[in-house]
Amino acid sequence: MAKAQTKAITATRKATTTSAPKQPQAPSQNQIAERAYKIWQDTGGTPEDNWLTAETELNGKKTSTSRSRASRS
């Protein structure tokens, strides 16, 4: 009986210690600011638009805003 309890405890520990896949960490404000500044240097635009574009890009989402802004300049 002791072996059965030990196996059950071991199985429970294994089940609870398995970690879920880690989510990517959100970009810092400094990273966003640096990217927004680079976007401004390349295409101009408003600080707000550049910030939002930088956030979107750094979060791994594609955006057509920077491309369309570049074609307007």
Q: Is 5 among the domain residues?
A: no
**Structural domain contains residue 71:** yes
Question: What is the predicted pLDDT for the residue at 66?
Answer: 47
Q: Give the per-residue pLDDT at 63.
A: 55
Residue 19 belongs to some domain of the structure: no
Which residue type, as a one-letter code, is found at position 28?
S
Residue 2 has pLDDT above 90, yes or no: no
Q: Please indicate, yes or no, if residue 11 is contained in any of the structural domains.
A: no
pLDDT band at 56 (very low <50, low <70, confident <90, very high): very high
Residue 8 domain-assigned (yes or no): no
d(CA 41, CA 13): 53
pTM of the model: 0.54
Q: Does residue 18 lie in a domain region?
A: no
> In the chain, how many domains are there?
1
* Residue 12: inside a domain: no
Is 36 inside any structural domain? yes
The domain in which residue 67 lies consists of: 25-73
